[in-house]
Amino acid sequence: MTNSLPDAATSLHHHGMFFNKSSFMDGAVGVSECGIPPGGTFDYVVPINESGQWGTYWAHAHAGGQYVDGLRAPLLLHPPKEVYSYDEEFTVILGDWYHSEHSVLLQQFISRANPGGAEPVPDSALIYFAQNGSYLGPIAGTDPSPVTSAAGFNENSTLPFQPGKTYRLRIINTSAFSMFYFWIDGHDMSIIEVDGTDTEEHPISLISLAVAQRYSVLVTARNDTSSNWAIHANFDTDMFDTVPDTLQPNITSSITYSSSASITDSGPVDAYFTVNDTELVPVQQIAAPESTKTIQLVAAFDTMDDGTNHAMFNQITYNSPLVPAILSELTLGSNATVAEAYGPLSFVVDHMDVVDIVIQNSDAGVHPFHLHGHKPMIVGTATDYTSDDPALNPPIASNQSNPVRRDTVLVPSGGSVTLRVVADNPGVWFLHCHIEWHLEVGLAIQLIEAPLQAQQYPVPPALIDNCKALGKPVSGNAAGFASTTDLSGLPLGPFPQNNGWHPKGILAMFGCVLTAVIGMLTVVWYSVMGGQISEEETDQEVREAIDRKAKKGRFFGLVGKPAS
């Protein structure tokens, strides 16, 4: 990848790829690399054969919010033999579109003028179709021949269906912020894949897709061509603090059987719902091993001591280290096992630990969390993690024979999700909210996995060269020192506001009270001592003030002489 941006580093993250023995290829700036400098190049090697992965993925920038501005694309991996048979496949790419650049919106978002942390609302919703590596354009075929789509993007593209055929739709939400609800009028859908995990067929009428989530569905075409049918992709507007009058939250395209037929649009559904991950059953059965370690994370947002709104895990806001964590892991020697060396919100796990990551969401909004380098098992969910009611906060079941596995999981407001991860992939892996605005304000941690084993896999020289070209240190702890405790110069904060009395507040209150007391004593003194100002004294003071201003050429209390 060559960076042709004139003034910014960039990177590329292949979302959902494991990168066994090569965490430094993961593309997360500040974690697995420094970024590619302007004019620089880096070769990303994706070890597909070693990881044994296939399914629906995507690639996007992981630097400075650049994927918000459009640096994103589908990534499809086909297995030697498909689990399900179908006639054709299409990729459905959903996304939100901001008409202003990310850098402008971010400055407005992280501002004392936005203490409540209202996220930027997108200006438009997008839906693209692709097939065989090309975006689809308008219908090219005409009746009575089967309709087809021409290659080349067009905003009026449609999906050409032929009666009786079965189609696989790979649906990807590439948004920065928005969640979508997707359904097709007049057709049944069955989920067969989630985030690269093949599943048993799961019939469903509507699919919810949080940011970065992917689903494959099978759809069987109808046996008549008398009507075309609407495809719906609607924003979840409950995520937006405001819904601008100019926003069209409900977008439609169509399945086309005949270029001369009209479109049947059944309109809105009665109610939205989210997909219940725990109902999905992977085709490849893997039992959940018993947990040996737990990391508990409480997600929250608040107005901080600098007046801006930031995110926190366990009351701490994540900041990128000065040295990418992968370079700290590889250069600290035996000290690489000390979590403090990587800065706040860094968690070290030993090789082959079985780790439960419990994410509790105390925020009012939903959050899609993504773990790099792994496809966690979802072994527990709760709709109210504070409740003693097992219906709302059920205990984690033992001996789960085949829990669903996915790399991006939605955690509801007030709820929790427990992810089980086997630490079999040495390196450093990012866990973060995939709403880009929330990542920018610190809703992330670093998982330092099997650091001593990771030291067997040195980084490519080009990665070091890129760091040096950007003026970044390439060894030592998070701050660039050969120490586990000296983190001088490491970015920290902002911090939650402390309740109670602060020194400045005490001083201000003392000043206010003192002024009030002096004022009251003055009133009492005049009333007791009979000291009153007569009209003659007042007139005399006014005349003296006018005389002083007149001598300075400033009549009528003006700053300068009036115009003549």
Complete DSSP assignment for 132-155: TTEEEEEE---TTSPP-EEES--T
Q: Are residues 217 and 312 in the same domain?
A: no
Query: Parallel, antiparallel, or unpaired: how do β-strands 427-433 and 444-449 relate?
Result: antiparallel
CA dihedral 368, 374, 380, 384 (to 10 degrees): -20
Measured between alpha carbons, how far is 374 from 26 in angstroms, rounded to an integer?
A: 11
Cα end-to-end distance, the chain, whole Å: 71
Task: Tell whether the torsion through CA atoms of 389, 390, 392 and 393 is positive or negative.
Answer: positive
Domain co-membership, 269 together with 397: no
Identify the residue whose tokens are 């993007």: 153
- Residue 557's pLDDT is what? 40
- Locus of tokens 């993504």: 370
Of 244, 279, 314, which marks where a domain is finished? Answer: 279
Q: Is residue 197 part of a domain?
A: yes
What's the per-residue H, E or C state across 304-339? ECCCCEEEEECCECCCCCCCCHHHHHHHCHHHHHCH
Q: How far apart, in whole angstroms, are the C-alpha atoms of residue 126 and residue 96? A: 6
Pairing of strands 250-256, 159-160: parallel
Angle at 290 between CA 288 and CA 293, to 5 degrees: 120
Question: What is the token pair recorded at 300?
Answer: 């929250």
Do 268 and 298 lie in one domain? The reply is: no
Q: Please state, in angstroms and rounded to a whole number, the distance separating the CA atoms of residues 122 and 28.
A: 24
Cis before 144 (ω within 30): yes
Quick one: pLDDT at residue 33?
Answer: 99
Distance in angstroms (rounded) separating the CA atoms of residues 25 and 38: 19
Question: What distance in Å separates the CA atoms of residue 400 and residue 376, rounded to the nearest whole number?
Answer: 14
Residues 245 and 344 in one domain: no
Last residue of a domain, one of 469, 484, 511: 469
Strand-pairing partners, residue 16, are none
For residue 217, being part of any structural domain is answered with yes
The tokens describing 55, both together, are 């399914």
Residues 135 and 221 both lie in one domain: yes
| 3-state secondary structure (DSSP) of residue 55 | strand
pLDDT of residue 562: 40
Pair of tokens at residue 311: 């995110």
- The verdict on residue 59 lying in a domain is no
In-domain check, residue 54: no
Q: What is the Cα–Cα distance from 54 to 504, expressed in whole angstroms?
A: 59
String of DSSP letters for 233-272: EEE-GGG-S---TT---EEEEEEES-TTSPEE-----S--
Selection from 10, 62, 12, 14 nearest residue 36 by Cα: 10
Q: Residue 419: left if φ>0, alpha if ψ -120 to 50, beta else—which one?
A: beta
Tell me how many domains the chain contains.
3
- Same domain assignment for residues 122 and 270: yes
Let me know whether 219 and 300 are in one domain.
Answer: no
Residues 63 and 11: their CA atoms lie apart, in Å, by 6
- CATH of residue 238's domain is 2.60.40.420
pLDDT, position 561? 40
- Residue 507 within any structural domain of the chain: no
Beta bridge partners of 177: none
Q: Which range marks the domain in which residue 179 is found? A: 87-279
Determine, yes or no, domain membership for 302. Answer: yes
How many CB atoms are located within 10 Å of the residue 238 CB? Answer: 11
* 267 and 356 part of one domain: no
* Contact between 383 and 414 (Cβ < 8 Å): yes
Same domain, 541 and 415: no
Same domain, 178 and 316: no
Residue 432 lies in a domain: yes
Does 448 lie in the same domain as 385? yes
One pLDDT digit (tens) per residue for the chain, 564 residues:
999 999 999 999 999 999 999 999 999 999 999 999 999 999 999 999 888 999 999 999 999 999 999 999 999 999 999 999 999 999 999 999 999 999 999 999 999 999 999 999 999 999 999 999 888 877 765 554 566 665 565 667 899 999 999 999 999 999 999 999 999 999 999 999 999 999 999 999 999 999 999 999 999 999 999 999 999 999 999 999 999 999 999 999 999 999 899 999 998 898 999 999 999 999 999 999 999 999 999 999 999 999 999 999 999 999 999 999 999 999 999 999 999 999 999 999 999 999 999 999 999 999 999 999 999 999 999 999 999 999 999 999 999 999 999 999 999 999 999 999 999 999 999 999 999 999 999 999 999 999 999 999 999 999 999 999 999 999 999 999 999 999 999 999 999 998 666 666 667 667 777 788 887 776 666 666 655 556 666 667 667 766 665 565 444 343 344 443
Domain-terminating residue out of 469, 487, 515: 469
Examine the domain organization and report whether 356 and 427 are in the same domain.
yes
Residue 250 lies in a domain: yes
Whether this model's pTM surpasses 0.85: yes
Query: Residue 150 to residues 43, 147, 166: CA-CA distances in angstroms?
Result: 32, 10, 20
The pLDDT score that the predictor gives to residue 223 is: 96
Of the candidates 433, 442, 472, the residue with the CA atom closest to the CA atom of residue 175? 433
Helix H or strand E segment including 484: none
Query: What are the tokens at 356?
Result: 């439960």
- Helix, strand, coil tally for the chain in percent (to 5): 20, 30, 50
For residue 394, the tally of other CB atoms under 10 A from its CB is 13
